[in-house]
Amino acid sequence: MNSNAQIIEKIREMEKLIASGAILDAPDNEPERQYYFMAKLKEYVAGVKERLGRALYACTKTFGCQMNARDSEKLEGILKVIGYETTESEKADFVIYNTCTVRENANLKVYGHLGLLSNYKKKNPDMMICMCGCMMQEEHVVEKIKKSYRFVDLVFGTHNIYKFAELLYDRVSQNSMIIDIWKDTDRVVEELPIERKFSFKSGVNIMFGCNNFCSYCIVPYVRGRERSREPEDIIAEIKKLAEDGVVEIMLLGQNVNSYGKNLENPMTFAQLLKEVEKIDGIERIRFMTSHPKDLSDELIEVMAASKKICRQLHLPVQSGSSRILKIMNRHYDKEHYLKLVEKIKKAMPDISLSTDIIVGFPGETEEDFEDTMDVVRKVKYDSAFTFIYSKRSGTPAAAMEEQIPEEVVKERFDRLLAEVQSGANERTARFEGQVKKALVEDVNTQLEGYVTGRLESSMVVHFPGDSSLIGKIVDVELTEAKGFYFIGKQREI
Ligand code: SAH
Ligand code: SF4
Ligand code: F3S
């Protein structure tokens, strides 16, 4: 029986206990308390389905990073258990927005969508709308929802996501808008149902929150203080995933390099990786994100010696200017970063590096920006995510004078993008003609008769094949480099 099936079985047992009268009220301990509410909701949803004479559909829209994507899988797990079918369409009976607020535009998108939803709800009075995620941790957002979006049914934040079933039960039994936001938490609730998006790969949270307070960033305010999961829980989860057929895992945290520091029995991230490596069935290990200030020699050694850890590292630089990096509170400078990259490349010459860069941080001069361009030229990233600085209220950078005019930022952004692209094209070409392992993820929707696989470097290759290959790791000759991707053909061995 797979891990999710075991949890579903426990929820069934809870249903029986409720039906027999052995359990009258919700238990206090977790996760049993949530199992109780899931059992109750199952009954409720069955009732609505009977009244309407049809199935009920739920749609989860996820914004933001991999942590949010993983959280959405947990929400979908609960929705499935209580009786909803999944759909991509927002004209559903249940719509959840799992929001991101790292940049202003992520935030604005959500309000645009909400307007649409109010129309759908007028046509379907049984529709439920739920808002959660990072945006909800901001007071002004919740105030706005309360005032201008009264049709929203349920609002909760990042710290109490494990209580989704309980909050939803409150909503259906009280019939009024439920809002529950916590400022922080030190709790990590395990053993809740999860509906994974992919059968063959999965994210695994190893820590939550962030303590770094980079001066531009809102994440520490909305995700709370850093908490590491116990290594035994992480290993147990990955073992179960491997039993379920998962071959690739991505260890997730805002700064994985500081994993384990606050555990009762401290453990380094490199030590955790060594344990994960031992798990049979797992063939590829990735992780993100690595903060350059905490990347240890031990980690480089473990990576270099590993057969399973992908030769890929996401190492956000944010800026190439030591002066700006100091104001950003990143705790490293240009020289340290370049030295680190050198060390990594020396240990793993085939490493694929990617990064995040912010353009237009307050006070950024042309000289500062040139330093960023210099780093891009020197490091030769395979890919880079470039962002225009976005002012997040409450962060120290938002109060800084000298915010950079839009046209200056735009012009620098375009120059950076051109540099990143030409560098990446050059980098991709180095693999042309080689045979590499690719994990087949999907059939290609644009090229008929092709599938899409992901290389260790995280780049994709399209090659002739069919759906029977999905989830398999195969050898592919990279016949043609096309900038950010490859065309290839499978090699039989
Ligand atoms: N914990 C990760 C990053 C998480 S946020 C790290 O430290 O590397 C993802 C990326 O969003 C960041 O790396 C940064 O480049 C970008 N970002 C964060 N705040 C931003 C802001 N206010 N404006 C523009 N980009 C921002
Ligand atoms: Fe934000 Fe910095 Fe934490 Fe990353 S390390 S989430 S950029 S505060
Ligand atoms: Fe966004 Fe929250 Fe992730 S703000 S980037 S979804 S941690």
Single-letter amino acid, residue 230: E
**pLDDT one-digit tens code per residue, 413-455:** 999 999 999 888 888 888 999 999 999 999 999 999 999 999 9
Q: Read off the pLDDT band of 94 (50, 70, 90).
A: very high
Which residues have CB under 8 Å from 398's CB, separation 6+? Answer: 391, 392
Q: What is the pLDDT of residue 427?
A: 86
Contacts 24+ apart (CB under 8 A), 455-458: 455/431, 455/486, 456/284, 456/310, 456/311, 456/312, 456/352, 457/310, 457/311, 457/312, 457/352, 457/382, 457/431, 458/286, 458/310, 458/312, 458/352, 458/354, 458/382, 458/383
CA–CA dist 65, 69 (Å, integer): 7
For the Cβ of 161 lying below 6 angstroms from any atom of ligand 3, the answer is no
pLDDT per position as a tens digit, 299-315? 999 999 999 999 999 99
Integer Cα distance of 262 and 227 in angstroms = 7
Banded pLDDT at 493 (limits 50, 70, 90):
low
Give percent above pLDDT 90 in the chain.
88
The dihedral region occupied by 53, where left means phi > 0, alpha psi between -120 and 50, and beta the remainder, is: left
| Atom 1, ligand 3: residue with shortest CA distance | 100
Buried b (16+ CB within 10 A) or exposed e, 217-253: bbbbbbbbebbbbebeebbebbbebbebebbbbbbbb
Residue nearest to atom 5 of ligand 2 (CA): 212
pLDDT surpasses 70 at 2: no
Cβ neighbours for 99, distance < 8 A, ≥ 6 positions apart: 63, 64, 68, 106, 107, 110, 131, 132, 133, 134, 135, 136
Q: How far apart are CA 227 and CA 261, in angstroms?
A: 9
- Pick the residue with more confidence: 493 or 461? 461
366-423 tens-digit pLDDT? 999 999 999 999 999 999 999 999 999 999 999 998 889 999 999 999 999 999 998 8
User: In angstroms, rounded to a whole number, what is the distance separating the alpha carbons of residues 452 and 442?
Assistant: 5
pLDDT at position 253 over 80: yes
**Backbone CA torsion sign across 139, 145, 150, 153:** negative
Q: Order of strands across the sheet with 154-156?
A: 85-86, 57-62, 94-99, 128-133, 154-156, 178-180
CA of 357 relative to ligand 1 center, distance in Å: 8
Q: Directed axis angle between helix 32-52 and helix 3-19, to 10°?
A: 80
CA 332 to ligand 2 center in whole angstroms: 14
pLDDT of residue 105: 87
Ligand with an atom nearest the CA of residue 68: 3
Kindly state if the Cβ of 68 falls inside 6 Å of ligand 3.
yes
Strands (E), 300-434: 312-314, 352-359, 383-388
For residue 1, pLDDT over 70 is answered with: no
DSSP-derived pairing of the beta strands 473-481 and 435-443: antiparallel
CA–centroid distance, residue 61 to ligand 1 (Å): 21
C-alpha dihedral, 279 to 282 to 286 to 290, nearest 10° = -10
Contact 359, 103 (CB under 8 A): no
How much is the pLDDT for 48? 96
Distance (angstroms) between ligand 1 centre and the Cα of 393 equals 15
- pLDDT at res. 414: 97
Compute the average pLDDT of residues 266-284: 97
Q: Is the CB of 64 under 6 A from ligand 3?
A: yes
What pLDDT, on the 0 to 100 scale, is given for residue 333? 98
- Lining residues, ligand 1, CB within 6 Å: 102-103, 216-217, 219, 254-255, 289, 291, 316, 318, 356, 358, 387, 389-390, 392
Residue 106 pLDDT level (bands cut at 50, 70, 90): confident
Separation CA 40–CA 170 (nearest Å): 11
Average pLDDT, the chain: 94
For ligand 3, say whether the CB of 127 is within 6 Å of any of its atoms: no
* Ligand having the closest approach to the CA of 391: 1
**Any idea which residue has 């909305």 for tokens?**
222
Taking CA atoms only, the protein residue closest to ligand 2 atom 4 is 254
Q: Which atom of ligand 1 is nearest to the CA of 254?
A: 1
Nearest CA to ligand 1 atom 10: 356
Q: Which atom of ligand 3 is nearest to the CA of 98?
A: 6
Please choose from 214, 217, 330, 354 the residue to mutate so as to test ligand 1's pocket, defined by most ligand atoms within 8 A of CB.
217
Q: In ligand 3, which atom is closest to the CA atom of 68? A: 6
* Residue 134 CB less than 6 A away from ligand 3: yes
Average pLDDT over residues 346-360: 96
| Closest ligand (CA of 100) | 3
Q: 406: part of which helix (H) or strand (E)?
A: helix 406-429
Residue 31 pLDDT level (bands cut at 50, 70, 90) = very high
Mean pLDDT for the stretch of residues 173-182 = 92
Confidence tier at 191 by pLDDT (50, 70, 90): confident
Its pTM surpasses 0.85: yes
Residue nearest ligand 3's atom 7 by CA:
219
69 CB under 6 A from ligand 3?
A: no
Residues with CB under 6 A from ligand 2: 210, 212-214, 217, 219-220, 254-255, 291
pLDDT tens digit sequence for 56-87 = 999 999 999 999 999 999 999 999 999 999 99
Closest ligand 2 atom to the C-alpha of 211? 3
Q: Assess whether the C-beta atom of 74 lies below 6 angstroms from ligand 3.
A: no
Choice from 60, 61, 63, 65 to test ligand 3 binding pocket (greatest atom count within 8 A of CB): 65
Which ligand number lies closest to the CA of residue 394? 1
For ligand 3, whether the C-beta of 253 sits within 6 Å is no
Q: What pLDDT is attached to residue 425?
A: 86
Confirm or reject: Cβ of 65 under 6 Å from ligand 3: yes
